[in-house]
């Protein structure tokens, strides 16, 4: 319903919005009327409305890890358990 409200606020028909979003008209009508669609359809609709600026917050980047120095890597290898002899 929010997408419909935003589409109407922008003065776009369903057909115009579907073209702008790169969605088949039938797919968009189903999405708008019944709330059924894929995540891709939803994201395309958000993009067409210009509401994607905070989506990156859903997938934060991992914090950078400190690289080990050469000595620390050698020590880590030395601490590994020795494989059993055959």
Q: Enumerate the domain spans of the chain.
A: 1-54
pLDDT at 12: 94
Sequence-distant (≥ 6) Cβ neighbours of residue 77 within 8 angstroms = none
**pLDDT tens track for 14-73:** 999 999 999 999 999 999 999 888 999 999 999 999 988 878 777 777 776 778 888 988
d(CA 28, CA 76): 55
pLDDT of residue 44: 93
What is this structure's pTM?
0.62
More confident residue, 7 or 64: 7
For 1-54, CATH gives 1.10.260.40
pLDDT at 35: 87
Per-residue confidence (pLDDT) for residue 29, from 0 to 100 = 95
pLDDT of the residue at 56: 79
For residues 36 and 30, the answer to whether their CB atoms sit within 8 Å is yes
């Amino acid at each position: 319903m929010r997408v419909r409200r935003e589409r109407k606020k922008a003065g776009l028909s369903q057909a115009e919005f579907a073209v702008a979003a790169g969605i088949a008209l039938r797919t968009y009508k189903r999405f708008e009327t019944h709330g059924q669609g894929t995540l891709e359809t939803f994201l395309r609709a958000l993009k067409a409305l210009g509401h994607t600026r905070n989506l990156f917050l859903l997938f934060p980047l991992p914090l950078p890890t400190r690289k080990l120095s050469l000595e620390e890597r050698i020590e880590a290898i030395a601490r590994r358990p020795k494989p059993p002899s055959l």
